[in-house]
């Protein structure tokens, strides 16, 4: 068995190779491959009952063998003492853990307790209690039976840490190897990003990793909890997928699944705003991939949904949205902010619907969408300090973006920003021309998770939680805060909080679209718009997927503050440059 670092390097090469993206309806189902990771360290072991843990960190073949060069790790429980060990695999994964056992005297199976955790403290926790450890969606705490001279596989779940305890007195657990089995879609990373700030480079990669782990049979929201398709949460995920992978079949599969299980007039996932996000995702897919056949297949449902949404704009222009009125959990206590956000989101959806139905040749529904959006745009609700609601008002064109940034989005810095709707705060700051402020927010807020040991982005995060807090890869000493077990709210209190949630990946899409500045100017990228916003950066470079192959760009700031750019586009992609001077030659890779 090769060391974990070598396996990860091989996996990384396989997953980031540059390739052209395939189109909806033509691509084969992308496979979910398995990669094996060895533990990188022993975080903790009990004072008694454990020996030879160094064996678990040594290279192994991944196969039970009759003779081993190292003694097996021994974990035993005696009266008054439970033997246990906590291992760290170095990064969050979606998948399983495998335990390999040697020959021993007697062939009776032995029981062990296995606890998986996204943090070290979660893997050490008991079920329930104040810190709310659980087995929802994926069983991560269970007693298993280990074979004599064999392999036992436990999972799946989302985890980085595993604790292994002996269960029965005088029945020791013997292990020759413990390895994690990473299950992930074996698809190339066509997109890339590098700039003069290594912290931003790391954030781009972590956002890409977060969504990549969520790309399972369907596009999940989280890999521990929730292992479900939530359509609203998909919008940032799809934006990231388009920037990193290009087309992937997990997106239409998830969109179609949710459509099929949501007959009208029901709202997708039981939430009115989520049916709106379904429309917005379809325009995102149309603009990036230009697959008219796929868009045509949505026409009956799309037209009926848009008519339902248009009817929710009253004669006075105010929205009359029924059902669960929701943006995201951190926004929910501010009901006036939610109302402002829903007004804006409805305008954005109707505008999108008007464009899509025009493409599809349904002038009647397109006209109904335009008329309703025009009425609704005249209503300017107070966001009541909600950064989420205010950002949507700016993006919908209801409020001036620059004024909104100064009045609502920038005061207090990251306070009031969430991992989901932070993406739209960033987009509103870009619309206001405040790339510098957006980059600062990314470094401070998303970077704050990295400072706590994160290798993926979380369901929620508040910088106030970091006061006196311990990193997720450390055990919590007396008097310190457990950033995982002591924080969280709503449906994700304590250890129920997901530390790999795809909706938190927004900075990856944002950096590609606004710093690299690459967006489709025409459906299917027959024309690309290159409009870099370097903010305080000296340079940025990378690739962006299109159906015809990746666009490669490099931007550099001149001494006078202007930007010069090198762009290499595939055949069939015209380039429209905004706010930069295109240089002759092929300079994107320099």
pLDDT of residue 570: 97
486: in domain: no
Residues 107 and 148 sit within 8 Å (Cβ to Cβ): yes
Residue 470 phi, psi (nearest 5)? -100, 145
Q: How confident is the model at residue 30 (pLDDT cuts 50, 70, 90)?
A: confident
Same domain, 71 and 214: no
274: in domain: yes
Same domain, 510 and 531: no
Domain boundary, last residue among 143, 164, 185: 185
pLDDT of residue 590: 31
233: in domain: yes
pLDDT of residue 257: 97
Percent of the chain residues past pLDDT 70, beyond the cut: 94
Answer yes or no: is pLDDT of 451 > 80.
Answer: yes
Answer yes or no: is pLDDT of 587 > 90.
Answer: no
Domain boundary, last residue among 185, 205, 235: 185
Same domain, 296 and 421: yes
How large is the average pLDDT for residues 207-230? Answer: 97
Strand ranges, E, within 241-393:
none
Q: How confident is the model at residue 19 (pLDDT cuts 50, 70, 90)?
A: very low
**What is the total count of domains within the chain?**
3
Which CATH number goes with the domain that contains 153? 2.60.120.260
Mind listing the pLDDT tens digit for each residue in 376-429?
A: 999 999 999 999 999 999 999 999 999 999 999 999 999 999 999 999 999 999
CA dist., res. 351 & res. 198, Å (int): 38
472: in domain: no
pLDDT of residue 202: 98
How large is the average pLDDT for residues 467-495? Answer: 97
Same domain, 504 and 528: no
Same domain, 78 and 151: yes
How large is the average pLDDT for residues 473-491? Answer: 97
Q: How confident is the model at residue 28 (pLDDT cuts 50, 70, 90)?
A: low
Answer yes or no: is pLDDT of 9 > 80.
Answer: no
Same domain, 376 and 440: yes
CA dist., res. 220 & res. 228, Å (int): 5
Q: How confident is the model at residue 585 (pLDDT cuts 50, 70, 90)?
A: low
Residue tagged 């192959």 (tokens): 549
Which CATH number goes with the domain that contains 542? 2.60.420.10
197: in domain: yes
How large is the average pLDDT for residues 253-267? Answer: 98
Same domain, 422 and 568: no
Answer yes or no: is pLDDT of 475 > 60.
Answer: yes
Query: Residue 165's beta-bridge partner residues?
Result: 84, 113
Domain that holds residue 524: 518-582
Same domain, 178 and 205: no
Both structure tokens of 243: 């920037």
Same domain, 245 and 282: yes
Quote the pTM value. Answer: 0.94
Which CATH number goes with the domain that contains 419? 1.50.10.10
454: in domain: yes
Domain boundary, last residue among 159, 185, 211: 185
Answer yes or no: is pLDDT of 4 > 80.
Answer: no
Same domain, 565 and 502: no
Same domain, 175 and 102: yes
How large is the average pLDDT for residues 310-339? Answer: 97
5: in domain: no
Mind listing the pLDDT tens digit for each residue in 150-192?
A: 999 999 999 999 999 999 998 999 999 999 999 999 999 999 9
Answer yes or no: is pLDDT of 13 > 50.
Answer: no
How far, rounded to the nearest angstrom, does the alpha carbon of residue 60 sit from its chain's CA centroid? Answer: 32
Mean pLDDT of the chain: 94
Same domain, 232 and 179: no
- Least confident span in 16-30, 53-67, 337-351, 375-389: 16-30
146: in domain: yes
- Residue 300: partners with Cβ closer than 8 Å, 6 or more residues away: none
């Amino acid at each position: 068995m090769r060391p974990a670092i070598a396996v990860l390097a091989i996996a990384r090469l396989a997953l980031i190779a540059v390739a052209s993206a395939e189109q909806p309806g033509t691509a084969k189902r992308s496979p979910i491959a398995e990669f094996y990771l060895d533990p990188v360290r022993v975080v903790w072991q009990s004072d008694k009952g454990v020996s030879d843990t160094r064996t678990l960190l040594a290279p192994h073949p991944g196969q039970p063998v009759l003779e081993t060069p190292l003694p097996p790790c021994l974990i035993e429980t005696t009266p008054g003492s439970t033997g246990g060990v906590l291992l760290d695999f170095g990064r969050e994964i979606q998948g399983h853990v495998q335990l390999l056992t040697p020959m021993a005297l007697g062939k009776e199976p032995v029981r062990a307790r296995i606890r998986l955790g996204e943090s070290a403290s979660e893997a050490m926790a008991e079920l329930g209690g104040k810190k709310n450890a659980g087995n929802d969606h994926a069983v991560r705490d269970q007693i298993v039976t280990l074979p004599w001279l064999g392999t036992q596989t436990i999972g799946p779940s989302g985890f980085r840490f595993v604790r292994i305890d002996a269960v029965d007195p005088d029945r020791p657990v013997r292990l020759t190897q413990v390895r994690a089995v990473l299950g992930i879609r074996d698809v190339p990373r066509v997109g890339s990003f590098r700039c003069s700030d290594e912290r931003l480079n790391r954030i781009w990669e972590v956002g890409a990793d977060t969504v990549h782990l969520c790309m399972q049979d369907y596009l999940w929201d989280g890999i521990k909890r929730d292992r479900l398709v939530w359509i609203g949460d998909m919008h940032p995920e799809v934006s990231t997928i388009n920037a990193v992978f290009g087309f992937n079949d997990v997106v239409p599969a998830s969109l179609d699944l949710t459509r099929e299980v949501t007959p009208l007039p029901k709202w997708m996932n039981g939430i009115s705003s989520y049916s709106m996000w379904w429309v917005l995702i379809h325009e995102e897919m149309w603009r990036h991939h230009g697959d008219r056949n796929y868009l045509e297949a949505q026409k009956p449902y799309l037209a009926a949904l848009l008519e339902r949404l248009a009817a929710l704009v009253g004669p006075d222009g105010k929205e009359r949205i029924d059902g669960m009125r929701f943006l995201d959990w951190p926004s929910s206590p501010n009901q006036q902010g939610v109302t402002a956000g829903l007004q804006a989101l409805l305008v954005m959806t109707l505008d999108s619907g008007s464009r899509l139905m025009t493409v599809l040749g349904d002038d009647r529904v397109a006209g109904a969408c335009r008329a309703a959006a025009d009425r609704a745009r005249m209503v300017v609700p107070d966001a009541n300090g909600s950064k989420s609601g205010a950002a949507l008002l700016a993006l919908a064109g209801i409020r001036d973006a620059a004024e909104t940034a100064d009045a609502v989005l920038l005061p207090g810095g990251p306070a009031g920003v969430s991992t989901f709707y932070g993406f739209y705060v960033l987009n509103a700051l870009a619309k206001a021309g405040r790339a510098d402020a957006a980059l600062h927010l990314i470094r401070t807020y998303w970077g704050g998770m990295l400072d706590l040991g994160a290798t993926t982005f979380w369901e929620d995060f508040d910088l106030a939680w970091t006061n006196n807090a311990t990193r997720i890869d450390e055990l919590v000493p007396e008097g310190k805060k457990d950033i995982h077990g002591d924080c969280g709210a709503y449906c994700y209190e304590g250890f129920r909080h997901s530390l790999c949630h795809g909706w938190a990946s927004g900075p990856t899409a944002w950096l590609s679209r606004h710093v690299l500045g690459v967006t489709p100017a025409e459906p299917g990228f027959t024309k690309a718009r290159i409009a870099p916003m370097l903010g305080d950066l000296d340079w940025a470079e990378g690739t962006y997927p299109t159906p015809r192959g990746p666009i490669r760009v490099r931007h550099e700031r001149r001494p006078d503050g202007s930007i010069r750019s090198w762009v290499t586009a595939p055949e069939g992609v015209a380039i429209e440059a905004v706010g930069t001077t295109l240089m002759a030659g092929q300079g994107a890779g320099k």
